[in-house]
Amino acid sequence: MKYLVIALIALVSLGIGSVGHDAYTIDSDDSVIELLEQFGEDFNEKRPKIDIDASADLGEDIIRNGFSNRKGLKKSKRQSKHFVCTSCHNLEREDPDLSINDPQARLEYTVEKGIPFLQATTLYGAVNRETYYNGDYDKKYGELVAPAREDIREAIQLCAQECAQGRALKEWEIESILAYLWTIDLKVKDLNLSDLELQSIQSAMGNEVLKKEGVKLIKRKYLTASDATFIPPPVDRKIGTGLSGDQENGKLIYDNSCLHCHYQKRYSFLHLDDNKMSFRYLDKAAETYSRHSLYQVARYGTYSKYGKKSYMPNYTMEKMSNQQLADLRAYIKYRALL
Ligand code: HEC
Ligand code: HEC
C-alpha cells in the first residue's frame, strides 16, 4: 500500500499526465461512489428507479418496520411475520477499519456505538459491495444465490424471502429499499485515508496513466465483498473450543447479540435475560448435542420448519470467532454458577 502511494506521488510529480482534476476536489463527506465515478466507474445499474412511486423514506419504513404507508394508498402488508431487516442487519457502520474483517474489533466498535453485534453484515455500504452472499452462503441457499451474487436487487429479494421468511417484495418496495441503501453508502471519511493517500488519489484522478492505480487504492480501503466461512461446532462439546474464555468479553456478546433477539422474545419464541434462569438453561445444554446447545445454535443456527418459520441464523467465522465463542461459554458458565 505504501509503495503504491509513493509510486503515485512520484509519477505525478514527474509530470506524467496532468496534475489533479480541476473540476473536482475530494471532500471527506463525499460519497465513495461519487469519487469512483470521477474515475469513470459506472454504478448506474444499481441506481434505484424512483419513477415508480418509490422513495428512500418508504424504504427506510420497510427496513425498520416491515411495511410502509404510501400516500393515498392502503398500508402495505407486513413483509414478514417473524422479522424486520434490522433483526439481523445494522444500518450503521460497524467496523473501525473497513478494509479488514475482525469480529473482535467489530464487537468493541458496536458496543461503543450502542448498536447490536449481529450475524448478517451491516447494510451500511451495501451498495458499495460488488458481490453478495459470498463464500459459504451457497451451501445454505444453493442455486438461489447465483442470481443474487452480483445483483443487489436479487440479493434484497432473496433475503426478504429466505432470510426473513416472508412474502416477496413488490417492485416499488425493492426500489424503495434500494433508494434508502443509497443514503447509507460509504463516505470518503469512512475510509480512514491519510493526507498523503488523499493527495495521491486526487492527483491520479485526472491522469489517464494513473487512473487504475487510484481506483485500486480506494478499493483497498473497504471490503468489496463480505466473506462468509461456515464452521462446525466443537467436536467434543465438553472440551468446547479448547480455548480459555474471557467472561467479560462474553458478556458483551451475550448482551449485544443474543439479547437483541431473545430478550422478551423480541424476534424469537425463546426468552433470555440477565437472570440466573437463562444462564442455567444455556449452561445445562451447552455441552450436550441437543438443539439447545449454544455451540450448536451459534455455528449451525436453527432451521425453519413448516408451521414454525422463524429460525436463528448461524454465526460465520467472520461474525464470531472461536475465541469469542469460548468467551461467551465462559460468561454463561460463570453466571450459571453465581
Ligand atoms: C433473519 C435474519 C435476516 C433478516 C431478517 C434479513 N436478513 Fe439480509 N441477510 C442475512 C444474512 C445471514 C445474510 C448473508 C450475508 C451477510 O449479510 O453477511 C444477508 C444478506 C443480505 C444482503 C446481501 C449482503 C451481502 O453483502 O452479502 C442484503 C442486501 C440483505 N441481506 C438485505 C436484507 C433486507 C433488505 C432485509 C429486510 C427485507 C433483510 N436482509 C432481512 C440475514 C437476514
Ligand atoms: C437474529 C436473531 C437472533 C440472535 C442474534 C440470536 N438468536 Fe437464538 N434464536 C433465534 C430464533 C428466531 C430462534 C428459533 C427458535 C425461536 O424462535 O425461539 C433461536 C433459537 C435459539 C436457541 C434454541 C432454542 C430451541 O428451543 O431450539 C438457543 C439456545 C439460542 N437461540 C441461543 C442464542 C444465543 C446464545 C445467542 C447469542 C450468541 C442467540 N441465540 C442469538 C434468534 C436469534
208-228 residue pLDDT tens: 889 999 999 999 999 999 999
The Cα–Cα gap between 263 and 77 comes to: 26
Residues whose CB is less than 8 angstroms from the CB of residue 124 and which lie 6 or more positions away in sequence, other chains included? 90, 91, 92, 93, 94, 184, 186
Span from the CA of 224 to the centroid of ligand 2 (angstroms): 29
Residue type, 87: S
b/e map 168-191, b = 16+ CB within 10 Å = ebeebbbbbbbbbbbebbbbbebb
CA separation (Å) from 290 to 95, 152, 233, 296? Answer: 34, 37, 12, 8
Report the range of poorest mean pLDDT among 110-114, 127-131, 165-169. Answer: 165-169
User: Closest-lying ligand to the alpha carbon of 184?
Assistant: 1
The owner of cell 459491495 is 129
Residue type, 37: E
Between residues 19 and 210, the one the model is more confident about: 210
The Cα–Cα gap between 51 and 85 comes to: 24
Span from the CA of 313 to the centroid of ligand 2 (angstroms): 8
Query: Looking at residue 2, what is its pLDDT?
Result: 58
Atom of ligand 2 nearest to the CA of 260: 5
Span from the CA of 312 to the centroid of ligand 2 (angstroms): 5
User: Closest-lying ligand to the alpha carbon of 128?
Assistant: 1
Q: What torsion do the CA atoms of 136, 141, 146, 151 make, to the nearest 10 degrees?
A: -90
Confidence of residue 50 (pLDDT cuts 50, 70, 90): confident
Contact predicate 214/153, CB 8 Å: no
Per residue in 246-255, pLDDT (tens digit) is 999 999 999 9
Query: Looking at residue 338, what is its pLDDT?
Result: 85
Span from the CA of 20 to the centroid of ligand 1 (angstroms): 39
Residues whose CB is less than 8 angstroms from the CB of residue 308 and which lie 6 or more positions away in sequence, other chains included? none
Backbone angles phi, psi at 127, to 5 degrees: -70, -20
C-alpha cell at 143: 442455486
Q: Is the CB of 241 under 6 A from ligand 2?
A: no
Atom of ligand 2 nearest to the CA of 268: 17
Span from the CA of 259 to the centroid of ligand 2 (angstroms): 9
Q: Is the CB of 237 under 6 A from ligand 1?
A: no
Identify the CA nearest to 272 among candidates 252, 257, 287, 286. 257
* Residue with CA nearest ligand 1 atom 40: 159
Work out the end-to-end distance of the chain between its first and last CA atoms, rounded to an integer number of angstroms: 50
Confidence of residue 20 (pLDDT cuts 50, 70, 90): very low
Confidence of residue 10 (pLDDT cuts 50, 70, 90): low
